[in-house]
């Protein structure tokens, strides 16, 4: 039997989408200049539909859920598998049988999940004793590099992500893991934070694109009635934030990319060795369409392996081998040397590619030294990848580089007439705040600096302060 570890995260071809006939029912359902420019771009336009999750599907999460054929009263495909809490591969439908089941998908990099899971945990405390089983489904990362996390290459690394989530988030709901083929994520239309309730026969009785503890509670109240004293999130004493790394950051200058890039498929040669550093490959639209353009090569330390760069030795270097007729410039390169003894910044390169045929992959070798954070060991590593000129449907989107909002700006005006009400055009769910998912591209790029209390939202007070700062500035 093929070992799951030998199956890398990146499939050569996307799983075939289930057709509508497979489902019996119909569908339901910091300076003055940048600040002023940001406001002018953000607040004049009307939001053009939902945000795209990555670049693999033209439409918002809601459209993808519908396109997947999921609906109230339908069942999941019979052959769908997950890894259960004991890390055994089991049939998902069998796991759903005999109980009402709440299933919420998420990961360590999805802001929507990180924001909503406390509400789900509160509902779990109240209803887990009423013959309702709860699970989180850990899936491919929605936004790689958020919080420093990068895509897993093996199922063992995905399990490590789950252990990290348990520790950092304090979750009590047990976790399932999507196999590295990402078959459940594909069935759910690649939605990053969907929520389902299944009845004891495995049929969907409640579903929504974005998980929400309040709506989940309402759905369960409709099935089982309300509890006498609902649990409040504050009662759970969950951690406030995910702790950040302690090793120095901001040491190496990041690559600046003016346009939205597209993640492409890579095949790491998983041979039992540990990939302390993970390659992220993205291309511009021209390269994907015509075979000529630019490619981003980013080498990112994987925090689950607790390593850092040792800057006292040779820096990370790569070398590519191109098919005949294809050129990559430069074909080899090394990261800059830095004075800081150690750090965990990514090492990034932007290369020019010409005449790359989609059916001819590029080979890449990367050499680096990895050192554990406790300075007990350093090891020289050489690892190989195959890079395909094909969009990775499960690659997720790096915020500010390969994930941006769909809103479009209007640069006219001076910003003095901007109001909180205009800003609230982007509050798609009507909760009085703007989340990262609701924000258009320019706001996403500056979201952390504007989110003063680091709660994952830009609220009314933060909006007012931003507008007031702009209005006080000369010419603002």
| All residues at 6 or more sequence positions from 101 whose CB lies less than 8 Å from its CB, including other chains | 95, 132, 133, 134, 135, 196, 197, 198
What is the Cα–Cα distance from 420 to 350, expressed in whole angstroms? 39
So what's the pLDDT on residue 353? 98
What is the Cα–Cα distance from 406 to 51, expressed in whole angstroms? 6
* Contact yes or no for 213/116 (Cβ under 8 A): yes
Per-residue buried b or exposed e for 232-267, using 16+ beta carbons within 10 Å of the residue's own CB:
eeeebeeeeebeeeebbeebbeeeebeebbbbbbbb
So what's the pLDDT on residue 434? 84
What is the Cα–Cα distance from 38 to 443, expressed in whole angstroms? 7
Q: What is the CA radius of gyration of the chain?
A: 23
So what's the pLDDT on residue 319? 98
pTM for this one?
A: 0.75
CATH 3.40.30.10 in the chain, residue ranges: 69-236
**No. of helices (H) and no. of strands (E), the chain:** 13, 20
So what's the pLDDT on residue 62? 54
So what's the pLDDT on residue 245? 53
**Can you point out the beta strands (E) in 284-438?**
293-301, 307-310, 317-321, 327-329, 332-334, 342-343, 347-354, 362-372, 378-391, 434-435
Question: Is residue 285 exposed (0-12), middle (13-18) or buried (19+ Cβ within 10 Å)?
Answer: middle
Angle at 441 between CA 438 and CA 443, to 5 degrees: 75
CATH 2.60.40 in the chain, residue ranges: 262-391
* Contact yes or no for 476/414 (Cβ under 8 A): yes
Give me 94's structure tokens.
């069998």
What is the Cα–Cα distance from 97 to 83, expressed in whole angstroms? 16
Of 152, 193, 90, 428, nearest in space to 278 by CA: 152
**Stated length of the chain:** 476
What is the Cα–Cα distance from 378 to 341, expressed in whole angstroms? 13
* CATH superfamily placement of domain 69-236: Glutaredoxin (3.40.30.10)
pLDDT less than 70: residues of the chain: 1-66, 241-248, 404-431, 441-442, 445, 469-476
**Would you identify the CATH topology of the domain 262-391?**
Immunoglobulin-like (2.60.40)
Angle at 270 between CA 369 and CA 390, to 5 degrees: 105
Q: Which CATH architecture has domain 34-53+413-476?
A: Orthogonal Bundle (1.10)
So what's the pLDDT on residue 79? 95
Question: Is residue 20 exposed (0-12), middle (13-18) or buried (19+ Cβ within 10 Å)?
Answer: middle
So what's the pLDDT on residue 49? 29
What is the Cα–Cα distance from 61 to 52, expressed in whole angstroms? 7
So what's the pLDDT on residue 179? 98
How would DSSP label each residue in 157-204? Answer: HHHHHHHHHHHHH---S-EEE--TT-HHHHHTTT-SS-EEEE-TTSBE
DSSP summary character for residue 18 = P
Question: Is residue 37 exposed (0-12), middle (13-18) or buried (19+ Cβ within 10 Å)?
Answer: middle
So what's the pLDDT on residue 270? 87
């Amino acid at each position: 039997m093929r070992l799951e570890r030998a199956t890398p995260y990146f499939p050569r071809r996307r799983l075939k989408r289930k057709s509508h006939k497979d489902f019996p029912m119909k569908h339901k359902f910091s300076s003055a200049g940048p600040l002023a420019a940001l406001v002018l771009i953000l607040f004049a336009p009307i939001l053009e539909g939902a945000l795209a999750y990555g670049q693999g599907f033209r439409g918002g999460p809601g459209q993808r859920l519908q396109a997947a054929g999921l609906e109230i009263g339908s069942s999941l495909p019979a052959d769908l598998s997950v890894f259960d809490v004991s890390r055994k591969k089991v049939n998902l439908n069998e796991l759903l049988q005999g109980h009402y089941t709440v299933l919420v998908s998420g990961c360590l990099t999805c802001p929507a999940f990180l924001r909503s899971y406390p509400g789900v945990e509160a509902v779990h405390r109240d209803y887990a004793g009423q013959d309702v089983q709860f699970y989180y489904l850990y899936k491919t990362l929605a936004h790689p590099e958020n919080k420093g996390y990068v895509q897993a290459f093996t199922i063992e690394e995905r399990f490590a992500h789950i252990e990290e989530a348990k520790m950092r988030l304090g979750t009590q709901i047990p976790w399932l893991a999507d196999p590295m083929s990402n078959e459940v994520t594909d069935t759910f239309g690649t939605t990053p934070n969907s929520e389902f309730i299944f009845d004891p026969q495995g049929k969907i009785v409640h579903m929504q694109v974005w998980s929400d503890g309040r709506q989940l509670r309402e759905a369960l109240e409709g099935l089982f009635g309300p509890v006498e004293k609902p649990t409040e999130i504050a009662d759970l004493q969950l951690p406030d934030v995910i702790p950040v790394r302690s090793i120095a950051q901001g040491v190496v200058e990041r690559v600046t990319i003016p346009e939205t890039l597209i993640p492409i498929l890579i095949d790491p040669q998983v041979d039992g060795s540990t990939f302390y550093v993970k390659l992220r490959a993205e291309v511009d639209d021209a390269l994907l369409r015509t075979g000529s353009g630019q490619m981003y090569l980013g080498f990112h330390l994987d925090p689950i392996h607790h390593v850092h760069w040792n800057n006292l030795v040779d820096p990370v270097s790569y070398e590519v081998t191109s098919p005949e007729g294809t050129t990559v410039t430069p074909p080899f390169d090394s990261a800059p040397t830095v004075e800081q003894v150690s750090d965990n910044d990514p090492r990034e390169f932007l290369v020019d590619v010409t005449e790359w045929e989609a059916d001819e992959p590029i080979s890449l070798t990367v050499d680096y030294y990895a050192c554990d954070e406790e300075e007990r060991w350093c090891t020289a590593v050489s690892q190989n990848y195959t890079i395909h000129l094909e969009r990775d449907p499960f690659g997720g989107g790096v915020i500010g580089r390969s994930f941006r909002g769909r809103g479009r700006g209007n640069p006219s005006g001076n910003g003095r007439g901007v109001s909180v009400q205009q800003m609230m055009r982007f509050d798609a769910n009507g909760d009085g705040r703007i989340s990262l998912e609701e924000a258009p591209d320019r706001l996403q790029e500056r979201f952390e600096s504007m989110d003063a209390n680091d709660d994952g939202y830009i609220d009314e007070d933060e909006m007012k302060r931003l507008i007031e700062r702009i209005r006080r500035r000369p010419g603002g």
